[in-house]
Amino acid sequence: MQQLTSYLAGSWVMGHGKERTINHAITGDVLYQVTSEGLDMAQAKRYAIENGGKALRALTFVQRAAMLKAVAKHLLANKESFYEISAQTGATRADSWVDIEGGIGTLFAYAGMGNRELPDDVLWPEDEMIPLSKQGGFAARHVLTSKSGMALHINAFNFPCWGMLEKLAPTWLAGMPAIIKPGTASAQVTQAMVKSIVDSGLVPQGAISLICGGVGNLFDLLDEQDVVTFTGSASTGQKLRCHSNIVARSVPFTMEADSLNCCVLGEDVSPEQPEFALFIREVVREMTAKSGQKCTAIRRIIVPQAQLENVVQALKAKLEKIQPGDPALEGVKMGALVSIEQRDDVQQKVDQLIAAGCKVVIGGKADTSRAGAFFPPTLLLCQQPDETSAVHELEAFGPVATVMPYQHAEHAMELARAGQGSLAGTLVTASGDIARQFILGAGRAHGRIQVLNQESSVESTGHGSPLPMLVHGGPGRAGGGEELGGLRAVKHYMQRTAIQGSPSMLAAVSKQWSYGAAVQENPVHPFRKHFEDLQIGESLLTARRTITEADIVNFANLSGDHFYAHVDKIGAADSFFGERVAHGYFVVSAAAGLFVDPGVGPVIANYGMENLRFIEPVKIGDTLQVRLTCKRKTAKPQKTAQDKPVGVVEWAVEVMNQENQSVALYSILTLVARKHGDFGA
């Protein structure tokens, strides 16, 4: 029998001790033995930190993003090998697509975010400078730096690829190495993907480790520079969260547990409306996808009393046509549960729900005569959901859901909240008012809520799909944690520190210039410099220009903007300004006239502007002068050797009047040519 090896301290290693067995979910054949007993976790942690952590921290965010992208491309090219192994877990091709390609898509998404939004540096200035004093000599910035430990990812069996990759992407982007402990029942799929990543040579040694089996004494080795994320059962998560080391060292611990997610049919929806069919389709899909083994699966179907019978009949009609089977066979839409243990657990929970008063509409009994772990789609009916706490607390982790009636909108929210915290909920309604009220009443119990109507249904990714840009997690029973959510997830693996000091000191620390920091003036115009030659804080103080009545008149005529504050002496006298003032758009246009160097040069384009504020009005006769300062630089990776190498340069613009008052402050974004590309000499 083959043992599923672990990858620790740069080697594939075998455990020695009591083994668990992985069986084929469809055939029941024994596939692997699993144990990690006897493996040296202390050495594994040290290796991950001293090799992987060090190497990752040496890369800039933009470089880490490029690494993610390369890994994603590599995995995509090799995806078929993962589908093959995934089939052993009872998954259909569609189920595996979510896991494998959904996971790879998450890597791509984080690569894109890192490349677009993060600095080409190892330190992440999170927000803009915060002034803390009247004269401006003391200020602060929040910065994020990489933690120096390792991330321990404890994953669930249901998404062996996605579950790993959705955590790996932000971890690596943050500059941390990861030790991955997959759910044992499907660890062979995770192992195959880890092998593929390791063999690709695209990530530094030690950036990824894998434990097939238990985590041994790893928890005893944790300290405040480590991070733990846990996905799985609430009871295991709660035990780990109280580990003495987690508590004493305040180790960040993110937990994501299965919850009793609901799908609510709005009071406005009757069977004639398209939303009724959408509701039925969504529930059936979320009950049966991955054979219901999804932490986001719909377990509670909450419908208006008046529609209960219609819903029950419609669901029954659809579910009758879905029988579990071998996904390799033609026409099989739902596969097996991952293991016989899992099947028996589902049976036990269904029996308990029945004992609590639920009636079986369809399904309810596993076919124990088959070698595979098959369980049929099971719909239960609970007429008294207020008195039947089991339907809100007891989860059968398979293709099982309970339908229940509500009496009025507030009651529907109460039932939704009765899950005591959910990862996801869906409300099917055509009414914006009903949606807003539902979110005000039930949002606090949910990490994500989909509002499904005809318009959104065309492109909806569905109730059950966590997306890289959206937070995944939920309060209470769902574990109280948050994953994904765009760059939020990256911050989970970093330390935020408020840095206080003079603006010049903050500029030196963050490599970003802010108002009040020292500037360097230089006889060469900054628009004549390539990306590499521009220095943060390099600044141009322009010539001056007096704004005349003729300028305002001409600008009004040319733009067509004859707003009274600019052209109507009488109206302007009564206005906020007390007299005619120059157009704000003219002020920024004249500013460009003062700071732009006109000839062909390395500055390619001005593609945007941020945070423009008009501070003081510009009156006829005022004289303007502009300071243009290089604020932030981000080199962009070239996609091909043919692309022109460029970087983004953000410039701070301050327009001042003759009293040295700021009249306008803003940033402009430019593309600037780099002298040297990323492809060779």
Q: How far is the CB of 311 from its own copies (least distance, A)?
A: 21
Helices in 268-337 by DSSP H: which ranges?
Answer: 274-288, 308-319
Is 509 an interacting residue with respect to its own copies (CB under 8 A)?
yes
Residues 564, 621, 641, 643: which binds its own copies (CB under 8 A)? 564
Question: Pairing mode, if any, of strands 494-501 and 139-146?
Answer: antiparallel
Contact assessment for residue 545 and residue 656, using Cβ atoms and an 8 Å cutoff:
no
CB nearer its own copies, residue 30 or residue 469: 469
User: Which member of 233, 236, 460, 638 binds its own copies (CB under 8 A)?
Assistant: 460
Minimum CB distance to its own copies smaller for 213 or for 232 = 232
**Residue 343 binds its own copies (CB under 8 A):** no
Catalytic residue among 161, 212, 295, 358: 295
Q: How many binding residues for its own copies (CB under 8 A)? A: 131
Give the Cα separation of 403 and 383 in Å (integer): 8
Are 300 and 407 in contact by the 8 Å Cβ rule? The answer is no
HEC string of 3-46 equals ECCEEECCEEECCCCCCEEEECCCCCCEEEEECCCCCCHHHHHH
Please tell me whether residue 478 binds its own copies under the rule CB under 8 A: yes
> Which DSSP letter does residue 208 get?
E
Name which of 37 and 455 has its Cβ closer to its own copies.
455
Instruction: Verify binding: residue 589, its own copies, rule CB under 8 A.
Output: yes
x-or-dash pattern for its own copies, window 380-419, by CB under 8 A? ----------------------------------------
Contact between 577 and its own copies per CB under 8 A: yes
Q: Is 659 designated active site?
A: no
Retrieve residue 485's tokens.
Answer: 């959510």
- Exactly one of 1, 331, 576, 642 binds its own copies (CB under 8 A); that residue is 576
Using the contact rule CB under 8 A, the part of the chain among 106-114, 150-158, 303-311, 462-470 near its own copies is 462-470
563 contributes a contact to its own copies by CB under 8 A: yes
Task: Give kind and range of the element (H or E) at residue 346.
Answer: helix 340-355
Q: Does 604 bind its own copies (CB under 8 A)?
A: yes
Angstrom distance (rounded) from CA 183 to CA 179: 13
Q: Is 443 near its own copies (CB under 8 A)?
A: yes
Strand partners, 670: 606, 649
Q: What are phi and psi of 400, to 5 degrees?
A: -130, 130
CA–CA gap between residue 304 and residue 69 (Å, rounded): 47
Question: Given the rule CB under 8 A, which of 78-86, 308-316, 586-594, 629-637 is the region that contacts its own copies?
Answer: 586-594
How far is it, in rounded angstroms, from Cα 65 to Cα 117? 10
**What is the closest distance, in whole angstroms, from the C-beta atom of residue 457 to its own copies in the complex?**
8
The least CB distance from residue 142 to its own copies, in Å, is 7
- Side-chain-side CA neighbours of residue 670 (13 Å): 29
Contact between 439 and its own copies (CB under 8 A)? yes
Q: Amino acid identity, residue 566? A: H
Residue that has been written with the tokens 């003495």 in this structure: 244
Which residues 219-238 are close enough to bind its own copies by CB under 8 A?
223-225, 234, 238
Q: x/- string (CB under 8 A) for its own copies, residues 237-256?
A: -x--xx----xxxxxx--x-
The question of whether 295 is a catalytic residue gets the answer yes
In 201-232, alpha helices (H): none
How many Cβ atoms are within 10 Å of 206's Cβ, its own excluded? 25
* Of 158, 189, 85, residue with least CA distance to 397: 158
Per the listing, tokens 């990714």 go with 461
Site residues (CB under 8 A) for its own copies, limited to 522-561: 545, 551, 554-555, 558-561
With respect to its own copies, which residue has the nearer C-beta, 374 or 586? 586
Give the active site residue among 161, 212, 256, 263: 256
Contacting range for its own copies; rule: CB under 8 A; set: 69-77, 99-107, 387-395, 476-484: 476-484
- Which own/partner contact pairs does 519-525 have at CB distance under 8 Å and 24+ positions apart? 519/627, 519/629, 525/597
For position 331 contacting its own copies by CB under 8 A, the verdict is no
Q: Does residue 520 interact with its own copies by CB under 8 A?
A: no
Q: What is the DSSP letter of 463?
A: T
Phi-psi region of 219 (alpha: psi -120 to 50; beta: other; left: phi over 0): alpha
Residues 124-153 that bind its own copies (CB under 8 A): 130, 132-135, 137-138, 140, 142-143, 145-148
Which amino acids are annotated catalytic?
A: 256, 295
